[in-house]
Amino acid sequence: MRDTAAHGPSNHTTHHVDISTKSPWSKWPSIKLLAFLLAVLCCSVIAFALQTDRLCTLRSQLPPPAEEQQKTRLTWDQARRESALEKAQLAHKMEGLKDSIENSRRERVEERMTLSRDRKRWEEQRKRNERDAGVQWREDQRKKLGLAEWEEPRGRCISYGTREYTAQMKFDGRHVCEGIPIDIHHRTLDTPSLCEDHSHQIIQGRWRNSNEPICRPDWGMIIDMGCVVRLGQASGIHRWEARLENVASEDEWMALCQTTPAFIHGRHFSSPAYCQKRYQPYGIAGIWEAEDRACS
């Protein structure tokens, strides 16, 4: 006071500055509070999300209500019945398709068989027509040439299973003479003025049939002749013999013997090694030889 009074009023005004409000660290508590609140909020959100997910998981694990279970069961049963119905319909369609395919296949097979039978019948008819035409042509030629019919044929066996037939035909030379023209000096004369019949010629024909059961003779009892000894030494050859039976006197005995097969002790021989005439008045023997170690 003394100073004021002594010195009088002063022209300088004193200013007080709040250092705390202007410091950069003066707002730090507010920032920390805000960060804390944000962290709490994030944790709450995360916890809520986890709890919600857990609740959904637990809820999904709980069995549905009875009404919902019954509704679901009815829905499943309906879907199962519809599926079974569709399967049955599909199986029925497949069965019908299989039957249709089988019927088509059977029809094609029957058509092929019918076509084959028709072709066979047509072929037989064609051959029959050709044969009839050939027979008619031969008959016409026979009449034209004045040939008579073949006489009753006679047969004889000439080899195993083969029989030869012989027949004779009389030849009318006069009829041929009257029906065949002739060229004389580049001029054709239709018929001679005179035909003289001095003698009737005879034509003979021969036919061979290779499927004759009567020409299949049999071998009699097979006789084991043992080992063949040649020049006093063992030859390693075993021999068997048998007589040829069921042959006629007019047959070719030697040819039949050489072509008649035989089974000897389980072995097949297409023909004997050679044949010999032994039995009188008619008889021939077949002789078979084969290698045998026991004969060495």
Model pTM? 0.43
Residue after which a domain boundary falls, among 188, 214, 240: 214
User: Of 3-12, 141-150, 176-185, which gets the smallest average pLDDT?
Assistant: 3-12
Q: What is the pLDDT of residues 203-246, one digit of tens each?
A: 667 778 887 888 899 999 999 999 988 888 888 899 999 999 98
- For residues 273 and 229, membership in a common domain is answered with yes
Residues 275 and 254: their CA atoms lie apart, in Å, by 7
Q: What is the pLDDT of residues 29-84, one digit of tens each?
A: 677 777 788 888 888 888 888 888 887 787 777 676 777 778 888 888 888 888 88
Higher-confidence residue of 136 and 124: namely 124
Higher-confidence residue of 72 and 197: namely 72
Residue 184: what pLDDT? 60
Long-range own/partner contacts, residues 108-117 (CB < 8 A, 24 or more apart):
none
Q: What are the Cα distances from residue 74, in Å, to 64, 69, 80, 86?
A: 14, 8, 10, 18
Residues 6+ away with beta carbon under 8 Å from 236: 291, 292, 293, 295, 296
Task: Confirm whether 188 is domain-assigned.
Answer: yes
| 234, two tokens | 């063992």
Whether residue 114 has pLDDT greater than 60: yes
- For residues 223 and 290, membership in a common domain is answered with yes
Residue 41: what pLDDT? 84
Average pLDDT over residues 254-266: 91
Whether residue 93 has pLDDT greater than 50: yes
Per the CB < 8 A criterion, the answer to whether 163 and 247 are in contact is: no
Residue 133: what pLDDT? 79
Task: Confirm whether 38 is domain-assigned.
Answer: no
- For residues 226 and 291, membership in a common domain is answered with yes
Question: Which residue segment(s) compose the domain that 175 sits in?
Answer: 154-214
Average pLDDT over residues 163-185: 70
Count structural domains, the chain: 3
- For residues 264 and 195, membership in a common domain is answered with no
- For residues 224 and 280, membership in a common domain is answered with yes
Phi, psi of 255 (to 5 degrees): -65, -40
- For residues 236 and 267, membership in a common domain is answered with yes
Task: Confirm whether 24 is domain-assigned.
Answer: no
Task: Confirm whether 134 is domain-assigned.
Answer: no
- For residues 231 and 198, membership in a common domain is answered with no
- For residues 246 and 187, membership in a common domain is answered with no
Strand partners, 260: none
Higher-confidence residue of 58 and 109: namely 109
Task: Confirm whether 20 is domain-assigned.
Answer: no
**Over the range 238-272, which residues count as b (16 or more CB within 10 Å of their CB) and which as e?**
bbbbbbbeebeeebbbebbbbbbebeeeeeebeeb
Higher-confidence residue of 131 and 251: namely 251
- For residues 224 and 289, membership in a common domain is answered with yes
Task: Confirm whether 30 is domain-assigned.
Answer: no
User: Of 29-43, 120-134, 262-276, which gets the smallest average pLDDT?
Assistant: 29-43
- For residues 234 and 289, membership in a common domain is answered with yes
Higher-confidence residue of 175 and 133: namely 133
Per the CB < 8 A criterion, the answer to whether 135 and 150 are in contact is: no
Task: Confirm whether 174 is domain-assigned.
Answer: yes
Task: Confirm whether 290 is domain-assigned.
Answer: yes
Q: Is the peptide bond before 281 cis (omega within 30 degrees of 0)?
A: yes
Residue 257: what pLDDT? 92
